[in-house]
Amino acid sequence: MTTAREIMTEGAECVGENDTLVDAAKKMADLDVGALPICGEDDKLKGVVTDRDIVVKCVAKGGNPGDFSVKDLGLSEVVTIGADDDVRDALTTMEQHQVRRLPVIDGHRLVGMLSQADVARSLDPAETGETVGVISEDS
């Protein structure tokens, strides 16, 4: 069994829930990523913000990203995977929630991010292709 911990990208950095969307976008650019976990004042995972969220929920509506905090996008249920969960469980979770990235947690602590690409590199191509198709259907 391959676990999420074995294939995840370690060292995921959070953006604070009170940081502006500009702060989040700059951090994404600096890290060359398209999504960041959102951490609250209590250091707990609150959600994930994507570059697409910033564009669709703020910029496309005429908003100034410097005037809005990450939490203004509307934090919703956080979909995660446990660090020691089987990577096939991650695939199932990605399919069910139509997401391409999952924060990986160990207890309540964020330990990494698992992307569709991470999964693709570790599993059979046919299995990965099916999942990518399901995730992309409604995205």
Q: What is the pLDDT of residues 82-120, one digit of tens each?
A: 999 999 898 889 989 888 889 999 988 899 999 888 887
- The sheet carrying 35-39 orders its strands as 15-16, 35-39, 45-50
pLDDT per residue as tens digits for the range 52-80? 999 999 999 999 999 999 998 877 778 99
125-136 and 87-97 helices, crossing angle to 10°: 20
pTM for this model (two decimals): 0.80
CATH topology assigned to domain 4-136: CBS-domain (3.10.580)
DSSP at 19: S
What residue segments make up the domains of the chain, in order of their start? 4-136
Which pLDDT score, from 0 to 100, does residue 135 have?
64
Our measurement of the distance from residue 84's CA atom to the centroid of its chain's CA atoms, rounded to an integer in Å, reads: 18
CA dihedral 118, 50, 89, 12 (to 10 degrees): 60
User: How far, in Å, CA of 81 to CA of 88, rounded?
Assistant: 11
